[in-house]
Amino acid sequence: MQELITRAKELLENGTVARVLGWKIGDLPYNPEPAFFETAESLDKFVYNGFCGANLSKYMIEASKLEGKTLVCLKPCDTYSFNQLLTEHRVDRDKAYIIGVGCKGKLDVEKIKKTGIKGIVSISGAEADSACDTLEIDTLYGKKSCAYGDAMLERCHVCKGKEHKIYDELIGESRDTADKERFAEVEMIEAMSPEEKFAFFQKELSKCIRCNACRNVCPACSCRKCVFDSNKFDSAQKANVDSFEEKMFHIIRAFHVAGRCTDCGECSRVCPQGIPLHLFNRKFIKDIDELYGDYTAGAEAGSLAPLTDFKMDDAEPSIVNERG
């Protein structure tokens, strides 16, 4: 982390970049938040540790409009999102100075809390440079510990790899964290009966409070104005103004990002109700891979998304009835 701060100061001072986009220490030991740093001094508040899960690529949309370059810290998975935004002309490559930061897996405090640990005062072992296999946690009730892997976000268990797809320079070590089958959860649902599937999603979706956290954090949901907020799909007869969107919001959102979603997992990370929203996106990814050939959004800037492409002998929609 120190190397990162030193380098950032250097770039700020020599005028290469006008600001730094990174994470700032939060009010609790586990909630750093995305922040812009304009001066070398302000970087004292900069932090990069296991809790810096937030994907900063979406902030580059606004940063691209600002004067001068922005230094942006991107984890390997964040670079996919950045590439995808580049493909869609939403960010300006020339306005970004990308430092690819190492990643040893990002942590989810909810998972720690789920192990029964309460009253967290401080956590050690989550530092970017010296990430350990076990987290030592000081609590109001004494010292506790938790295996790093057990505290990791779901998405890190199914990590696409620790290779940065786009960067100007790299700082920091990474550690392989993938130890689960990416599509296992999706397959589990696919194997359910229609009744079970419906019950599962009905239960999950009825938790939704339409806070829009998923939409706001999603790097693919970068529309200037969301269709759900415009009157384009409105109609004169509509009695209850928002009933339609309410009911179909997550399905439509998933469809809108299908083929563009990099599976960064931010939607599930930020959902205050803990809805596994990534299960929608990942289903589309699995279908696309199976039906149209493997495709990873953002692996390469400028690639043609599966839904803007076709083959003459693509499967017919009836294949859905034939499968499973």
Partner 1 sequence: MSVNNEFKPKIVAFCCNWCSYAGADLAGSSRLAYPADVKIIRVPCSCRVNPMFILRAFEKGADGVIICGCHPGDCHYSTGNYYARRRMTLLFSMLDYIGVEKGRARVEWVSAAEGVKFADTMNSFVSKIKDLGENVRLGDIRCKN
Partner 2 sequence: MQRIGVFVCHCGSNIAATVDVKKVVEVIRSEPGVVHAEDYQYMCSEAGQERIAIAVKEHKLTGIVVCSCSPRMHETTFRKAAERAGLNPYMVEIANIREHCSWIHKDINEGTEKAVILARAAVAKVNLNTPLYPGESRVTKRALVIGGGIAGIQTALDIADAGYEVDIVEKTPSIGGIMSQLDKTFPTLDCSACILTPKMVDAAAHEKIKLYTYSEVEKVSGFVGDFTVDIRKKARYVDADKCTGCGLCQEKCPSKKTPSEFNRGLGNRSAIYTPFAQAIPNVPVIDTDACIKFKTGKCGLCQKVCAAGAIDYTQKDEIVTEKYGAIVVATGFDTIKLDNYDEYAYNQSKDVITSLELERVMNAAGPTHGHLERLSDGKAPKEIVFIQCVGSRCSDDRGKPYCSKICCMYTAKHAMLIRDKYPDVNVTVFYIDVRTPGKNFDEFYRRAVEQYGVNYVKGQVGKVIPQPNGKLLVQGSDLLDNKQILKEADMVVLATAIEPNKDVRKIATMLTASIDTNNFLTEAHAKLRPVESPTAGIFLSGVCQGPKDIPETVSQAGAAAIKVVGLLAKDKLMTNPCTAHADELLCNGCSTCANVCPYGAISYEDKQVNDHGIRETRRIAVVNNALCQGCGACTVACPSGAMDLQGFSNRQILAEVDAICR
Q: Which residues bind partner 2 (CB under 8 A)?
A: 65, 87-90, 222-227, 230-238, 256-257, 260, 304-305, 307-309
- Residue 171 lies near partner 1 (rule: CB under 8 A): no
Residues 91 to 130 in contact with partner 1, rule: CB under 8 A: none
Q: Which one of partner 2, partner 1, none interacts with residue 77, CB within 5 to 8 A by kind?
A: none
At 261, which amino acid appears? Answer: C
CB atoms within 10 A of CB 22: 27
Taking the complex as a whole, how short is the minimal distance between the CB of residue 90 and partner 2, in angstroms? Answer: 6
The strand order across the sheet containing 134-139 reads 120-124, 134-139, 142-147
Rounded Cα–Cα distance for residues 136 and 314 (Å)? 53
Q: Which one of partner 1, partner 2, none interacts with residue 243, CB within 5 to 8 A by kind?
A: partner 1
Rounded Cα–Cα distance for residues 53 and 123 (Å)? 16
> Which two three-digit tokens encode residue 70?
């922005």
- Residue 182 lies near partner 1 (rule: CB under 8 A): no
Stretch that binds partner 1, among 27-35, 65-73, 245-253, 295-303 (CB under 8 A): 245-253
Taking the complex as a whole, how short is the minimal distance between the CB of residue 90 and partner 1, in angstroms? Answer: 22
Rounded Cα–Cα distance for residues 150 and 133 (Å)? 10
Q: Which one of partner 2, partner 1, none interacts with residue 315, CB within 5 to 8 A by kind?
A: partner 1
Residues 6+ apart with CB under 8 A from 129: 1, 2, 172, 173
Q: Which of 252, 270, 299, 301 touches partner 1 by CB under 8 A?
A: 252
Size of the site for partner 1 (CB under 8 A): 50
- Residue 320 lies near partner 1 (rule: CB under 8 A): yes
> Which two three-digit tokens encode residue 213?
């956290």
Q: Which one of partner 2, partner 1, none interacts with residue 225, CB within 5 to 8 A by kind?
A: partner 2
- Residue 255 lies near partner 1 (rule: CB under 8 A): yes
Rounded Cα–Cα distance for residues 188 and 217 (Å)? 27
Rounded Cα–Cα distance for residues 168 and 112 (Å)? 35
Helix (H, G, I), strand (E, B) or coil at 101: strand
Taking the complex as a whole, how short is the minimal distance between the CB of residue 220 and partner 2, in angstroms? Answer: 8
- Residue 188 lies near partner 1 (rule: CB under 8 A): no
**260 versus 278: smaller Cβ distance to partner 2:** 260
Rounded Cα–Cα distance for residues 283 and 189 (Å)? 10
**147 versus 199: smaller Cβ distance to partner 1:** 199
